[in-house]
Amino acid sequence: MNRTQRLFLQAMLVLALLLFVVGVISPIVTIEKFYLVENTFSIFSGVVQLFLEQRYFLFLLISVFSLILPVLKLGVLFQILENPQHEGSNRHRYLRWMHLYGKWSMLDVFVVAILVVSVKLGAIANVEMHYGLYAFALSVLLTMVITARVVAVTKEESTKV
């Protein structure tokens, strides 16, 4: 991977990280019931609320898959791009870990989808999506594209050796 490609991917990772932070702390959804009760949530406020309501399993599940693992994945991608000469087992181990994690990375999207569908099914509730959801989704998509590119370049480099 040449220096220009690496710098471009690093810039895209910074953008993905910024979108992730905006997506986590910004409102993602407003739920309105009976035109009287209105609740607006961000991912962060939702996780805090789960903890305060002592729903520890959901708190851990959403914290791990929506907050901790995405940050770790971005960190691993930064590490791989920062040290392109770092060949061998560590680089392949990082890529294998990200591949295994990738299978679970849509769990948070699935949870949000179930929430939206369950609320939409109720005739007494209205759901409004906000920009935080779009920022979070763009972060996830951008991270997936960057990961695919890093994996492709790594495979190309390993076949040249």
Other C-beta atoms within 10 Å of 43: how many? 24
Q: Is 152 a residue whose pLDDT tops 70?
A: yes
Q: Is 49 a residue whose pLDDT tops 80?
A: yes
- pLDDT score of 48: 93
Q: Are strands 37-42 and 125-129 parallel, antiparallel or unpaired?
A: unpaired
Work out the pLDDT band at 44, boundaries 50, 70, 90: very high
- pLDDT score of 70: 87
Q: Topology of 3-160 in CATH?
A: Butyryl-CoA Dehydrogenase, subunit A; domain 3 (1.20.140)
Q: What is the pLDDT of residues 8-32, one digit of tens each?
A: 999 999 999 999 999 999 998 888 8
3-state secondary structure 1-38: CCHHHHHHHHHHHHHHHHHHHHHHHCEEEEEEECCCEE
Other C-beta atoms within 10 Å of 77: how many? 24
Residue 122: DSSP 8-state: S
Q: What is the pLDDT of residues 82-100, one digit of tens each?
A: 876 655 567 777 777 776 7
CB-based burial of residue 138 (10 Å sphere; 0-12 exposed, 13-18 middle, 19+ buried)? middle
- pLDDT score of 131: 93
Domain ranges of the chain: 3-160
- pLDDT score of 140: 85
pTM of the model: 0.83
Q: What are the Cα distances from residue 62, in Å, to 67, 71, 107, 122, 135? A: 7, 13, 8, 24, 17
Q: What is the mean pLDDT of residues 69-84?
A: 85
